[in-house]
Structure 1
Amino acid sequence: MRILKINQDNPEKNKLKIAIDTLREGKAIVYPTDTVYGIGANALDIEAIEKVYKIKKRPLDKPISICVSNSSLIKKIAYTNKEIEKIIEKILPGPFTIILNKKENIPSLLTAGSEKIGIRIPDNKVCIELSKEFPITTTSANLSGKDIPEAVDGILKQLDDRVDLILDAGICKHGIHSTVIDMTLNPPKIIREGAIMPKFNL
């Protein structure tokens, strides 16, 4: 396992390249988001997704969310409409996870057999660069059921050397998980309160 210090405001291109190459190879990394550190792997690669479940010791009946680099990519992996897209433009990038109905290209392993998928666009340049080529998993960097560490030393205590690379950017901006909004419901419903709440009515 390798640890690289990275600047989350102005991430070094050579370090991003190492991380992206690692993801391309089907390996798993730990990376900073705007909320907490996440475990990242190619979200379209079944074997890579299986690794994430094993790393976290996460039950297969619990879904894993994904990270994309911009809102236009959401339409390629999930179903939206004009009202949903208006909300997305208001809150993303940001510390929110939106729940949408997935399209067929999203592996059912990610969604625990559900037709719904959690999607993030974190307000973090590292995340955006890492997910430009393909969506990546964005599940917190901890063992399932354990506290979520704020920094890399805490992550190492839980995950040890189970991941191939850690991008260490210090403390994440919010330090608490994202707010989850189920947009498959009408009206959309907040199903988990997190870092911040929307500043408008859903």
Structure 2
Amino acid sequence: MKLIKVDPENPEKEKMALIRDTLGSGGTVVYPTDTVYGLGASIFHEEAVLKVYNMKGRSLNKPVSICLSTIEDIKNITYLDQYKEEIIQKILPGPYTLILNKKEIVPSLITAAMDKIGVRIPDNAICQELSREFPITTTSANLSGHPSPKSATEVQRELGDQPDIIIDSGPCSGISSTVLDLTVNPPKIRREGAGMEKLLQVLEG
């Protein structure tokens, strides 16, 4: 396990290239988001995704969300209409997990064989750099059922040296993302979390 300190405002290019290479070759990386620390693997590396599940002690019957870099990336892996895209444009990047209908390109392992996927574009430069070339998992970096970690120190206490890389860029807010289901009409909030006030304004507007 490598612990790498990264500037949260201006992630160092050399460090980010190294970390992306690790993800691209099937490694696992713990990284900060705008909510809590997440556990990442390329969604296209089945063995790496299985490592994420095993590390957390998470059932394969439970899907994990994915982190993306741009709204165009979301269009590549999910089905969007104009109404959904308008909502997404108003709230992302931000502390939201959006449930959408997935395209075939998304491996069924990630979604527990369901036709829906949770997607995030965190308001965090490190996240956006890590997922610039391919989607990565974005499940909290803790044992299933335990509190979500707010710092690299908490992650190490939970997961030890199992991840290939742990990024340390200081504390996160510790408030989990708000989950908005866009597969139903009207959209439904499945979990209240960070950014609720702004989301309610968007939905009511």
TM-score interval, smaller chain: over 0.9
Unmatched segments (≥5 aa) in structure 1: none
- Cα deviation per residue 1:103-131 (whole Å; 9 max; x = unaligned)? 00101110111110000000000000110
Structure 2 counterpart of 1:175 = 174
List structure 1 runs of 4+ shifted beyond 4 angstroms: none
Structure 2 counterpart of 1:122 = 122
Query: Post-superposition shift, 1:200?
Result: 2.3
Query: Post-superposition shift, 1:76?
Result: 0.8
Counterpart residue identity of residue 70, structure 2: N
Structure 1 counterpart of 2:73 = 73
SS in structure 2 at match of 1:191: strand
Give the share of equivalent positions with the same residue, in percent.
Answer: 55
**Cα distance in 2 for residues equivalent to 1:44 and 1:194:** 29
**Cα distance in 1 for residues equivalent to 2:2 and 2:72:** 33
Structure 1 counterpart of 2:195 = 196
- The correspondence of residues 1-202 of structure 1 with structure 2, limited to 5 A, is 1-172=1-172, 174-197=173-196, 198=199, 199-201=201-203
Query: Post-superposition shift, 1:18?
Result: 1.3
- TM-score computed with the length of structure 1 as normaliser: 0.97
CA-atom RMSD, angstroms? Answer: 0.9
Query: Post-superposition shift, 1:149?
Result: 1.9
Counterpart residue identity of residue 60, structure 1: L
SS in structure 2 at match of 1:119: strand
- Cα deviation per residue 1:24-49 (whole Å; 9 max; x = unaligned)? 11010000111100001001221111
Unmatched segments (≥5 aa) in structure 2: none
SS in structure 1 at match of 2:108: coil
Aligned residues: 201
- Cα deviation per residue 1:64-94 (whole Å; 9 max; x = unaligned)? 0001100011111011100000000000000
CA contact (8 A) 2:95 2:195 kept: yes
Query: Post-superposition shift, 1:201?
Result: 2.0
**Cα distance in 2 for residues equivalent to 1:122 and 1:140:** 13
**Cα distance in 1 for residues equivalent to 2:98 and 2:111:** 13
CA contact (8 A) 2:148 2:174 kept: no
Query: Post-superposition shift, 1:152?
Result: 1.2
Query: Post-superposition shift, 1:136?
Result: 0.5
**Cα distance in 1 for residues equivalent to 2:161 and 2:7:** 22
Query: Post-superposition shift, 1:15?
Result: 1.1
Query: Post-superposition shift, 1:148?
Result: 1.3
Query: Post-superposition shift, 1:196?
Result: 1.6
